[in-house]
Amino acid sequence: MPGDSTFVLTGLQLVIMGDVEADAPDGSIGFTRNSYRKESKEVAVVSEAMPPVTSNKFTREKRSELLMTICLKYPFWNDFRILDFLNKHGIFMTMEELKGLRRECGIDSREDVCLELMRLYFNKEIKLDKKQVQFIERLNLAFRDREFLAARPGDLLVYECIFFRKLNKMFYLHFVFDLFNGYAFGKVSRRCSGEIGLKLLQEKIVPFYRKRGYKVRAILHSIKSTREHWEAEESSIRGSVLAMSIEWLDPKHEFGIIQRFKQDFLDDFFKDAEALDVSLLMIQPAFDRRMIKYNSACPFHQRRNLLGYLDDLESTDRRPLEINCN
């Protein structure tokens, strides 16, 4: 049937026809009963050899399976919308019963739904659709970087030149982030020149990794680097990086983990610096001290839980969604 959307979970099949999954016009998470719900066609819940939903044989187990299916297929739906859908199709329950069923299923919060979707995705049990990806990325910016999984320290370092306007002045932070263990390095400057980032790499980062028995393999140039200011010097920078036997990659990607780090760490740091009236000359020493404290919490040889999942995610145990960047 054209336009149908089908999602299968443990033998239960949910067929949604028409515009039942319409979201809020403003893109917000939630459902206002009278504001934007539109249903142009019939909606049906079907399953092979499954009794009608009004039958006494429609057990709590079947309800749990159906609820799990709905929550994973339409993660933006809130409890009011789910309850309305169920009641309209003969599965009557109160809001308290729905919340209790969600707790039993282990999906009583948006974070739980997000973590379950990531678990299924990384275990290659499902393919995410556009709405599911949007839902995960809204809660976990680092999920944008799911194709950039490093195997060891120094495997993939992201470089980004971040612009700030604080302390009534404009300046830049040349920032390097290790996608494996979360180690971060930065140099504050009044200039955007990529030569500053190159100097940081040569004088601090490469020796730092060499001392610990690792080699920097690749630098990923983030799409948000303000390239228009230094495109002319990029070729020489690339040449210098390649001369150190390090790959220089330009993936045309905006790294979510950098945005998350900026929100959770950098914005607070510069806000504190402004509140304390720290002079521009003192920002770098203060930043270095903060970074020492931050990096001390990152085991250098251990993969960090940057995507909100663990290496042993194939286990059925659900864990809290975590993105530890501060």
CA gap 269, 324 in Å, rounded: 16
Q: How far apart are CA 257 and CA 143, in angstroms?
A: 8
Residue 308, pLDDT score:
58
Q: How confident is the model at residue 39 (pLDDT cuts 50, 70, 90)?
A: very low
Which pLDDT belongs to residue 149? 85
Kindly compute the dihedral angle of the four CA atoms of residues 17, 20, 21, 24, in this order, to the nearest 10 degrees: 160
Q: What is the dihedral of CA 87, 90, 96, 97, to 10 degrees?
A: -160
pLDDT, mean over the chain? 75
How far apart are alpha carbons 57 and 22 in whole angstroms? 31
* Residue 282 pLDDT class (50, 70, 90 cuts): confident
What's the fold here for domain 157-296?
A: Nucleotidyltransferase; domain 5 (3.30.420)
Contact indicator for 71, 107 with CB cutoff of 8 Å: yes
Give the pLDDT confidence of 85-133 residue by residue, as tens digits.
988 888 888 899 999 999 999 998 999 999 999 989 988 899 999 999 9
pLDDT at position 307: 61
Question: For the chain, what are the domain ranges?
Answer: 5-139, 157-296
Q: Which of 22, 34, 25 is nearest to 74 (CA)?
A: 22
CA atoms of 110 and 94, how far apart (whole Å): 20
Give yes or no for a contact between 325 and 256, defined as CB atoms under 8 angstroms apart.
Answer: no
For 131-163, the pLDDT digits (tens) are 999 999 999 888 988 889 899 999 999 998 888
- The first and second tokens of residue 35, run together, are 């504001």
Q: Give the single-character DSSP code of 115.
A: H
Alpha carbons 17 and 4: distance in angstroms, whole number: 5
H-only helix segments in the chain: 60-73, 79-88, 95-105, 110-122, 130-139, 194-200, 206-211, 231-243, 256-261, 267-275, 280-296
Q: Which one, of 112, 88, 90, 117, lies nearest residue 99 by Cα?
A: 112
| Three-state secondary structure call for residue 178 | strand
